[in-house]
A and B are shown apart, each in its own frame.
Chain A
Amino acid sequence: MKKCRRCSKPATLHITEIHDSTVQKIHLCENCASEYLETSAPPDEDEMEALLEEAGLGDLGDEQDELTCPNCGITYREFRKQGRLGCPHDYVVFKERLIPLLENIHESTHHAGKFPKRAPDASHKQYELIKMRNDLRIAVEKEDYEAAAKLRDDIRQLEEQQSE
């Protein structure tokens, strides 16, 4: 039996808090639970890490940590730290790690709800734009204004094509 987080009595209430996007499990005894509900404190910052930990996906110190999305440039390590993905394509790049996490959070890995009217496969082409925007950001950082100008033109052109 789990012990209460605030005192050493056996925990009888197991609270799962989701603050918009981060999840935290809190085990409390009846007295502390009542107090907790009166004055619920803001969530700890490292909840996504705790959640990953729970799914057996904590700091594994392996090469997957350095896995990088070719489109937005985020690494798996950065995701682990901040708990937010960098672009839609990350769900493909980090799939192996995200599937067990999703199973843990949602007890499922398959969407069963609404479908957008537009064909979803069209979106794959659109990921190109994410890559180009990331390249543009890097070009600006490096002060490579020639490359940046070209990328800006290319982005505009591709956007126009896609909105037609």
Chain B
Amino acid sequence: MQTGCEWLRGTGPDAEIVVSSRIRLARNLAQFPFISRADEPTRNDLEKLLYEKLQNLSAGPRLSYFDVRNLSDLDRQFLMERQLISKELADGEGARGVAVDQGQSVSVMINEEDHLRMQVVRSGFSLDECWKDIDQLDDDIEEDVTYAFGEDLGYLTACPTNVGTGIRVSVMLHLPALHMTKEIQKVLGALQKISLAVRGLYGEGSSASGQFFQVSNQITLGQSEQQIIDKLHEVVPNIISYERRVREALLKDNRAKLHDQISRATGILQKAQTISSEETMDLLSSVRLGVSLGMLDDLDLLSVNELFIHTQPAHLQKIRGETLDSGERNAARAAYLRSRLAEA
């Protein structure tokens, strides 16, 4: 689990701006109540049934199962930082878990808000590949379970905001130049008008720290999965080219200032003795921009992407192999960054 997170590779189309593409599907079994009305024995039955189903998929990847109910708080937070489970699953009650493939690009949560929440993540702008994989996984799981489905309303979900396709299509964008020039507000305003939602790195009410913005569909009913994906295919390239244009303009008009900012960020990360998570995210964002612009030759996108995740609290404690309080984490974070960026 410490290694191999495929979506961090920093490869794939437009990977210098699109960190990752992600599609999730919400599904429920017809013969069970939704989770909020499921008592303990029912949750146990659900987990057992779905766990066995996932272990015996006729096709698709081999999945390892994590029994989230019996994990430590630290392990739950670790899985959250990897974006393999949601906060809702981590903080939930009773029988629940997640099945993850070797490359950590497929994860299936059991007993979250819905009985099943499956997701496929890819590095770069690769929604078609995500859809192909998750559509197949959905078919495989369905082979011998009956999903809650109505002809009129489609896949029935615990919350009416997900009913229909149960799909959320999202792309994680790194937009430092649009953020720096405040042009980002125009983008956000425009997205809102066409019913696309924007969140921070960790979804669910997280801030846009590190200048990461997650763009996703809000509407799940009345459009096909392909139409929803196509909408992002239509919109996201415009944001990408906007970010690129602003980057070029900054290079042209403010090259010295930009170079200074990126060099200072790298310098602090290489030398700091204690550093908060927030400051790290901000500075790494400048470093990531520097790598994308070819200003920092000794680093690649994979290393920077990894640093964003490895400097999160639970990852740091896992790497150190001990529990650390906030002050100790800041020192450990600085030490880790110094060691990783020594040669950069």
Partners in one complex: yes
1/0 per position for B146-188, CB-CB distance to A under 8 A?
1111111111101111111101000000000000001011001
B37 sits at the interface (CB 8 A): yes
Residues of the B chain whose Cβ atoms lie less than 8 Å from the Cβ of A88: 28, 30, 34, 148, 150, 156
Residues of the A chain whose Cβ atoms lie less than 8 Å from the Cβ of B198: 15, 37
A41-B205, A88-B150, A122-B146 in contact; A130/B33 too (CB < 8 A)? yes
B222 sits at the interface (CB 8 A): yes
Total number of A residues with any Cβ neighbor in B under 8 Å: 67
A111-B165, A112-B223, A114-B165 in contact; A98/B195 too (CB < 8 A)? no
> Could you tell me the distance in whole angstroms from the C-beta of A67 to the nearest C-beta in chain B?
15
CA distance A124 to B35 in the complex (A): 19
Cross-chain contact B31 with A159 (CB below 8 angstroms): yes
Cross-chain contact A113 with B225 (CB below 8 angstroms): yes
Which residue of the partner chain, among B34, B192, B222, B225, contacts A14 with CB atoms under 8 Å? Answer: B192
Residues of the A chain whose Cβ atoms lie less than 8 Å from the Cβ of B158: 21, 84-85
Residues of the A chain whose Cβ atoms lie less than 8 Å from the Cβ of B163: 91, 102, 106
1/0 per position for A73-112, CB-CB distance to B under 8 A?
1100000001111111001100000100110011111111
Residues of the B chain whose Cβ atoms lie less than 8 Å from the Cβ of A115: 149
Cross-chain contact A72 with B37 (CB below 8 angstroms): yes
Cross-chain contact A111 with B160 (CB below 8 angstroms): no
Residues of the B chain whose Cβ atoms lie less than 8 Å from the Cβ of A163: 144
Cross-chain contact A112 with B224 (CB below 8 angstroms): yes
A142 sits at the interface (CB 8 A): no
Cross-chain contact B192 with A18 (CB below 8 angstroms): no
A38 sits at the interface (CB 8 A): yes
Residues of the A chain whose Cβ atoms lie less than 8 Å from the Cβ of B139: 117
CA distance A112 to B163 in the complex (A): 11
A8 sits at the interface (CB 8 A): no
1/0 per position for B178-222, CB-CB distance to A under 8 A?
000010110011001001011110011111100000000011111
Cross-chain contact A21 with B162 (CB below 8 angstroms): yes
CA distance A74 to B35 in the complex (A): 12
1/0 per position for A20-33, CB-CB distance to B under 8 A?
11110000001001
CA distance A126 to B36 in the complex (A): 19
Which residue of the partner chain, among A14, A83, A91, A105, contacts B153 with CB atoms under 8 Å? Answer: A91
Cross-chain contact A23 with B161 (CB below 8 angstroms): yes
Which residue of the partner chain, among A40, A91, A110, A122, contacts B205 with CB atoms under 8 Å? Answer: A40
Which residue of the partner chain, among A33, A87, A110, contacts B34 with CB atoms under 8 Å? Answer: A87
B39 sits at the interface (CB 8 A): yes
Cross-chain contact B30 with A84 (CB below 8 angstroms): no
B308 sits at the interface (CB 8 A): no
A137 sits at the interface (CB 8 A): yes
B65 sits at the interface (CB 8 A): no
Cross-chain contact B225 with A16 (CB below 8 angstroms): no
Which residue of the partner chain, among B150, B159, B204, B220, contacts A84 with CB atoms under 8 Å? Answer: B159
Closest B-chain residue to A105, C-beta based? Answer: B161
Residues of the A chain whose Cβ atoms lie less than 8 Å from the Cβ of B3: none
CA distance A84 to B197 in the complex (A): 21
Cross-chain contact B33 with A87 (CB below 8 angstroms): yes
> Could you tell me the distance in whole angstroms from the C-beta of A87 to the nearest C-beta in chain B?
4
CA distance A22 to B218 in the complex (A): 11
CA distance A127 to B150 in the complex (A): 12
Which residue of the partner chain, among A109, A116, A127, contacts B149 with CB atoms under 8 Å? Answer: A116
A39-B207, A106-B222, A114-B135 in contact; A17/B197 too (CB < 8 A)? yes
Residues of the B chain whose Cβ atoms lie less than 8 Å from the Cβ of A159: 31
Cross-chain contact B219 with A87 (CB below 8 angstroms): no
A58 sits at the interface (CB 8 A): no
B2 sits at the interface (CB 8 A): no
Q: List 9 A-B contacts (CB under 8 A).
A: A16-B195, A72-B34, A82-B36, A91-B153, A102-B160, A105-B221, A113-B223, A114-B135, A134-B33
Question: Known pairs A16-B192, A17-B199, A86-B33. 11 more at Cβ < 8 A?
Answer: A34-B185, A37-B188, A88-B156, A91-B153, A108-B221, A111-B152, A112-B222, A113-B225, A118-B146, A130-B31, A133-B32
List the interface of chain A (C-beta within 8 A of B): 12-23, 30, 33-34, 37-43, 48, 71-74, 82-88, 91-92, 98, 101-102, 105-118, 120, 122-123, 126-127, 129-130, 133-134, 136-137, 159, 162-163
Nearest 3 A/B pairs, CB to CB: A108-B222, A111-B154, A21-B159
